[in-house]
Amino acid sequence: MILWILLALMTAIVAAALLYPLYRRPEALAPDNAGEIEVYRDQMKELDRDRAGGLISAEEAEYARAEIGRRLLAAAGKENVDAADAAKASGLRRMAIGIVTVAPPAIGLCLYIMLGSPGLPDQPLEARLANPGNDMSLLVAKAERHLAQNPNDGSGWDILAPIYFRTARLGDAELAYRNAIRLIGPSAARLSGLGETLVVANDGIVTEDARSAFEEAVRLEPGDVRARFYVGVAQEQAGKAADAKATFEEIAKASPRDAPWMGLINEHIAKNGGTVAAPAAPPSLGAPSADDVAAAQDMSQGDRQDMIRGMVDSLASKLEADPNNIEGWLRLVRSYMVLGDRDKAEAALKTGLEHFSADGSEGRQLVALAREIGLSAEGAANPGATPKMGVTQ
């Protein structure tokens, strides 16, 4: 009800502002020829006095009276025309007042009836919070209200923390992770989440607090790939290339060859002076046989790179002939990044997204891969300078 009163008051104020200039009456001004008419009337009176005094003859008096009368009639006719124009202007003003008064409310009412929902009942915040449905903002608001009343609910903080991170509320995410760790204890997922939040908040730099969180996560769960990756990044940023290479090689050794993070791991291995293994591929996409792998062990670094590049070129040719293979595009983009050919990786990503819409499940895989390996893709959001590993909590 209050809303309707406010809207009515706003409408009245706007209408008054529009109508005020129209309601103002022009100042009453004497006609331009008022003095001229008075002169002719004075001439008539003077003529009568001269005729009575015998100063002019009767014939001359009649002739002069006719001329003055003609001029007086002409002046009076002009005054009538001005009055008619003023009446016409007044009529137009009244029409404008009527249009401004009636048209806007009528148009607004018609639009509301056609496009609005006048029969929809009010939905106070309490009612919406009681049934938030799939509205993420309402779900978050409901959880925040619960935590405001129950600040020691560690599970609530644990639920909110990754949501805050994904929505770039990094300060809130750090607070939520720290509260969850304090209240329900540390876990690899919570510590890794806290560390990654600190990394993103510091533009990709693994700070001392973040490194400590990742190292504690690895101690609790040695198989936490995300935590081990960031430990390697911290060593890399500290200039400890040998330690970083060893860390990334350990991750590669413990991971399946087709793991989604292998492209990024191999990139860091190569960056720190290590040797990158050939990218995995299914037999239909030109994967090496057991004999090929055995032969590659005896090759020089240059020959091994040529072998890998030949396999990647073969994969690119197969995809050109049969582009409807999402696994092939994912593998091709990763392979180009492993070989250090960023331009070809970006071109392959772009071509893959031309065949698979970014809104579809296959296209989303390509966009996710772009985030992992640091490529830009239209519609992909990069929350920080350091790409994420793609490992869920």
Q: pLDDT tens across 148-207, in order?
A: 889 899 999 998 898 888 888 899 999 999 999 999 999 999 999 999 999 999 988 999
Residue 27 falls within a domain, yes or no?
A: yes
- Confidence grade of residue 117 (pLDDT, cut at 50, 70, 90): low
pLDDT higher than threshold 50 for residue 387: no
Residues 218 and 191 sit within 8 Å (Cβ to Cβ): no
Number of domains within the chain: 1
Helix, strand, coil distribution of the chain in percent, nearest 5: 70, 0, 30
Tokens 């799939």 identify what position?
A: 134
Tokens 């008539």 identify what position?
A: 44
Residues 244 and 232 sit within 8 Å (Cβ to Cβ): yes
User: Percent of the chain at pLDDT above 70?
Assistant: 67
Residues 388 and 197 sit within 8 Å (Cβ to Cβ): no
pLDDT tens, 333-378? 888 877 778 888 888 888 888 888 877 777 778 887 787 777 776 5
Residues 235 and 244 sit within 8 Å (Cβ to Cβ): yes
Q: What's the CA gap between 349 and 327, in Å, rounded?
A: 12
pLDDT tens, 218-271? 999 988 888 999 999 999 999 999 999 999 999 988 887 777 778 788 888 888
Residues 187 and 216 sit within 8 Å (Cβ to Cβ): no
pLDDT higher than threshold 70 for residue 144: yes
3 state SS of 59? helix
Residue 355 has a CB neighbour count (10 Å cut-off) of 15
Residue type, 273: G
- Confidence grade of residue 386 (pLDDT, cut at 50, 70, 90): very low
- Confidence grade of residue 140 (pLDDT, cut at 50, 70, 90): confident
pLDDT of 38: 75
What is the residue range of 88's domain?
2-115
Residues 380 and 371 sit within 8 Å (Cβ to Cβ): yes
Residue 64 falls within a domain, yes or no?
A: yes
pLDDT higher than threshold 50 for residue 281: no
Give alpha helix (H) positions in 24-57.
Answer: 34-52
Residue 199 falls within a domain, yes or no?
A: no
Residue 269 falls within a domain, yes or no?
A: no
Contacts of 367 (CB under 8 A, 6+ apart): 353, 358, 377, 379, 380
Question: Tokens at residue 257, please?
Answer: 């060859």
Tokens 């990503």 identify what position?
A: 349
pLDDT of 287: 46
Residues 359 and 327 sit within 8 Å (Cβ to Cβ): no
User: Of 294, 212, 228, 296, whose CA–CA distance to 261 is shortest?
Assistant: 228
Average pLDDT over residues 32-38: 65
Q: What's the CA gap between 61 and 47, in Å, rounded?
A: 7
Higher pLDDT, 128 or 392: 128
Query: Backbone phi, then psi, for 37, in 5-degree steps?
Result: -65, -45
What mean pLDDT is reported for the chain?
75
- Cα–Cα–Cα angle for 206, 212, 216, rounded to 5 degrees: 130
Residues 172 and 143 sit within 8 Å (Cβ to Cβ): no
Residue 9 falls within a domain, yes or no?
A: yes
Residue 193 falls within a domain, yes or no?
A: no
Question: Tokens at residue 306, please?
Answer: 């040529």
pLDDT of 283: 43
Q: What predicted TM-score, i.e. pTM, was given to this entire model? A: 0.45
Residue 391 falls within a domain, yes or no?
A: no
Residue type, 244: A
Q: What's the CA gap between 209 and 65, in Å, rounded?
A: 114
Average pLDDT over residues 114-138: 57
Residue 307 falls within a domain, yes or no?
A: no
Write the Ramachandran bin of 221: left for phi over 0, alpha for psi from -120 to 50, otherwise beta.
Answer: beta
